[in-house]
C-alpha cells in the first residue's frame, strides 16, 4: 500500500470501523501483555537458572540482621551455595548461637564471622568503620541489607514515641545506606558485587500504609535508594536489587507457623536467593508475586480503606493486650 493509498483508506474509514480497529488493537495489546506476564511469571519463578553466586560475585556474603528470622534463613541458603558468611547483628550471644548452628549444619565447608554492632546506637562513620574492619581482606561479593525493625503494633503517628521513630529511621533506612557505603569501594575495585536490600510490599505494592507510616516510608526509601544505586553502579559490575516480601513468619510478624501466604523464613529465602542478580525490584516467592500483582491492580482507594480498617482493628487488639499486661504488672508491684 502506497502512502497515498493509506491516506485515502484512512479518510474513507467510518467512525464504526475506526472504533472497532482501536478496540481490536487495544485488546491485542492487553492480551499480549497478559501472555508476556504469564511467561515471565513462570520463567522467573521456576525456570530461570539461579546465578552461581560465589563465582559471579565473590566468596563471602555479609548479612545484616543475620542472626534471626529472614536474615538467618538467608545465611543458611547462601552457605548451602558455598558462600562464607559475615553475620552482623546487635547481640553477641545471638551471633554465637547462629554461628554454632551454621557450623553444625555445614561443618568446616563454610567460614563464619560475626560483627556485633547495634545499628541503632552506632552512627554513620562508626558503622562504616566497624563493617570495613570486619570485612578487611575478604572478597565480599554480596551484601544483604536485611536488618530491620517495625512497630510493636499499628499506631497513629502522634502515638509513636520519638525513640521508636529514631530506630526505624536508623536501622531500616540509615543502616542500609551506611552498610552499602562500607562495601562499595572494595566491590568497585573488584568490579563485581551484589547488594540486596530487603524492602517491603508495604511500599512496593501499597500507595499508603496507614498506622504504620514510618515503617512504610523507610521501606519506600529502601526501594528508591536501590533503584537509583542500581543505575549508578551497573557500570562497576555491581547489581543492586530490592526484594519486597509480603508477610513472612518471623518474630516481626509474631508468627511461628508458616502457611502458603505467610511462608517460613526458610521457604521465603529459598525463593529469594534465586532472584539475586536479576531484576532491580522483585517480589520473590510465587504466592507473594501473585498477591502483589493483584494489589497493584486494585485501586488505592480500596486498599487504603481496607488497610486503615485492618490496622485500626490490630491497634485496638494489641493496645488492649499491652495495656492490660502493663496494668497487671503494676498491680503485682503495688498490690
Ligand X SMILES: NC(=O)c1ccc[n+]([C@@H]2O[C@H](COP(=O)([O-])OP(=O)(O)OC[C@H]3O[C@@H](n4cnc5c(N)ncnc54)[C@H](OP(=O)(O)O)[C@@H]3O)[C@@H](O)[C@H]2O)c1
SS3 assignment for 58-105: CCEEEEECCCCHHHHHHHHHHHHCCCEEEEEECCHHHHHHHHHHHHHH
Q: Which residue, 54 or 247, has its beta carbon nearer to ligand X?
A: 247
For ligand X, which residue of 26, 38, 55, 91 counts as binding (CB under 6 A)?
A: 91
Total Cβ atoms within 10 A of residue 331: 9
Check residue 69 for interaction with ligand X (CB under 6 A): yes
Binding span for ligand X by CB under 6 A among 7-15, 118-126, 289-297, 317-325: 118-126
Check residue 263 for interaction with ligand X (CB under 6 A): no
Check residue 119 for interaction with ligand X (CB under 6 A): yes
C-alpha cell at 205: 505494592
Provide the minimum distance between the beta carbon of 103 and ligand X in the complex, in angstroms, as a whole number: 18
Q: Which residues pair with 194 in a beta bridge?
A: 142, 239
Provide the minimum distance between the beta carbon of 149 and ligand X in the complex, in angstroms, as a whole number: 5
Binding span for ligand X by CB under 6 A among 45-53, 60-68, 155-163, 205-213: 60-68
Burial of 158 (C-beta count, 10 Å sphere; 0-12/13-18/19+): exposed
Total Cβ atoms within 10 A of residue 58: 21
Total Cβ atoms within 10 A of residue 140: 24
Task: Tell me which residues in 205-244 interact with ligand X (CB under 6 A).
Answer: none
For ligand X, which residue of 58, 65, 141, 263 counts as binding (CB under 6 A)?
A: 65
CB within 8 Å of 132: residues ≥ 6 apart: 182
Instruction: Give the total of residues touching ligand X (CB under 6 A).
Output: 27
Residue 243, helix vs strand vs coil: strand
Binding span for ligand X by CB under 6 A among 7-15, 37-45, 68-76, 154-162: 68-76
Q: CA dihedral defined by 143, 212, 120, 79, rounded to 10 degrees?
A: -30
Check residue 251 for interaction with ligand X (CB under 6 A): yes
Provide the minimum distance between the beta carbon of 185 and ligand X in the complex, in angstroms, as a whole number: 22
Provide the minimum distance between the beta carbon of 255 and ligand X in the complex, in angstroms, as a whole number: 8
Is 215 catalytic? The answer is: yes
Question: Which residues are tagged catalytic?
Answer: 215
Residues interacting with ligand X, by CB under 6 A? 65, 67-71, 89-91, 94, 118-120, 146-149, 171, 198, 200, 245, 247-248, 250-253
Amino acid at each position: 500500500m502506497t502512502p497515498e493509498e493509506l491516506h485515502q483508506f484512512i479518510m474513507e474509514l467510518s467512525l464504526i470501523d475506526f472504533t472497532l480497529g482501536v478496540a481490536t488493537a487495544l485488546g491485542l495489546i492487553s492480551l499480549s501483555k497478559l501472555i508476556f506476564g504469564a511467561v515471565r511469571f513462570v520463567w522467573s519463578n521456576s525456570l530461570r537458572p539461579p546465578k552461581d553466586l560465589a563465582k559471579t560475585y565473590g566468596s563471602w556474603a555479609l548479612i545484616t540482621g543475620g542472626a534471626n528470622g529472614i536474615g538467618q534463613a538467608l545465611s543458611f541458603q547462601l552457605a548451602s551455595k558455598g558462600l562464607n558468611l559475615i553475620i552482623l547483628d546487635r547481640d553477641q550471644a545471638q551471633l554465637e548461637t547462629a554461628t554454632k548452628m551454621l557450623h553444625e549444619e555445614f561443618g568446616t565447608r563454610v567460614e563464619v564471622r560475626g560483627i556485633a554492632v547495634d545499628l541503632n546506637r552506632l552512627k554513620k562513620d562508626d558503622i562504616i568503620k566497624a563493617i570495613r574492619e570486619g570485612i578487611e581482606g575478604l572478597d565480599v561479593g554480596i551484601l544483604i541489607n536485611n536488618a530491620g525493625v517495625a512497630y510493636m503494633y499499628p499506631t497513629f503517628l502522634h502515638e509513636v514515641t520519638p525513640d521508636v521513630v529514631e530506630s526505624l529511621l536508623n536501622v531500616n533506612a540509615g543502616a542500609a545506606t551506611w552498610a552499602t557505603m562500607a562495601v562499595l569501594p572494595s566491590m568497585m575495585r573488584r568490579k563485581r558485587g551484589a547488594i540486596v536490600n530487603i524492602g517491603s510490599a508495604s511500599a512496593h505494592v501499597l500507595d499508603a500504609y496507614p498506622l504504620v507510616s514510618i515503617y512504610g516510608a523507610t521501606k519506600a526509601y529502601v526501594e528508591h535508594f536501590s533503584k537509583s544505586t542500581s543505575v549508578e553502579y551497573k557500570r562497576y559490575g555491581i547489581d543492586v536489587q530490592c526484594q519486597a516480601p509480603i508477610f513472612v513468619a518471623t518474630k516481626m510478624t509474631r508468627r511461628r507457623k508458616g502457611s502458603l501466604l505467610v511462608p517460613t523464613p526458610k521457604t521465603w529465602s529459598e525463593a529469594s536467593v534465586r532472584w539475586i542478580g536479576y531484576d532491580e525490584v522483585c517480589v520473590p516467592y510465587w504466592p507473594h508475586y501473585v498477591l502483589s500483582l493483584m494489589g497493584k491492580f486494585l485501586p488505592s482507594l480500596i486498599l487504603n480503606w481496607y488497610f486503615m480498617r485492618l490496622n485500626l482493628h490490630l491497634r485496638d487488639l494489641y493496645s488492649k493486650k499491652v495495656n492490660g499486661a502493663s496494668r497487671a504488672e503494676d498491680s503485682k508491684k503495688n498490690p
